[in-house]
Amino acid sequence: MAARPTFILASASPARRTLLDAAGIDAEVIVSGVDEDAVEATTAEALSAVLARMKAHAVAERLRHSATAPARALVLGCDSVLAFDGQILGKPDDADDAVKRWQAMRGRSGVLHTGHCLVELHTGRVTEEVGSTVVHFADIGDAEIEAYVATGEPLWVAGSFTIDGLGGAFIERIEGDHSNVVGLSLPLLRRLLAALDIPITELWRQR
């Protein structure tokens, strides 16, 4: 039997790594170094796909030139972007930007798009897909917004919110996959792996 492939996450997001860990998948993190601000697209969905693809291929290319690269490896690139009111919202510029976003988003909804690109290093096969989840924001007050932004949490995430942290209290409901809003859709990952003839169960850590 072939050895279980090494799973590499081309993302610095601790939320994505925690999600994989809870799903029984041990991931090695290699940050891509892609300059997200330099990439443009006409829609949030397209931008998330392009950034995920760039991250995965940047890390895969680095590993191909490494003498210590594992014999079998899977590289997953992910990126999340919020589509709201015709705007494409990645990470906020600063605290003031985050406050203004929340003042606009409260009581309304947006669509969180997360691009996923999976590269099988030893064969060069690639599969990708974008997961989309509708997020309904609570109608919160200015004091709550200012307190939330003061924690620093919304400054480092797409759309200026999390669903798995302090921001979860301000999400009334979602339509779609919860893990996609965290930053990595587990059902979508299963489909990507299946496209490469790899059952997700093969990645589960041995108990």
Which residues participate in catalysis according to the annotation?
Answer: 79
Distance between CA 206 and CA 7 in Å, rounded?
A: 14
Comparing CA positions, the residue from 109, 159, 116, 115 lying closest to residue 134 is 109
Give residue for tokens 């999976």: 118
Distance between CA 16 and CA 7 in Å, rounded?
A: 13
Cα–Cα distances in Å, from 11 out to 30, 78, 85, 193?
7, 7, 27, 18
Q: Are 103 and 150 in contact (CB under 8 A)?
A: no
| Greatest extent of the chain over all pairs of C-alpha atoms, in Å | 58
Cα–Cα distances in Å, from 1 out to 4, 5, 108?
9, 12, 51
Point out which residues pair with 133 in neighbouring strands.
112
Q: Which residues of 115-142 are buried (b: 16+ CB within 10 A; e: fewer)?
A: bbbbbbbeeeebebbbbbbebebeebee
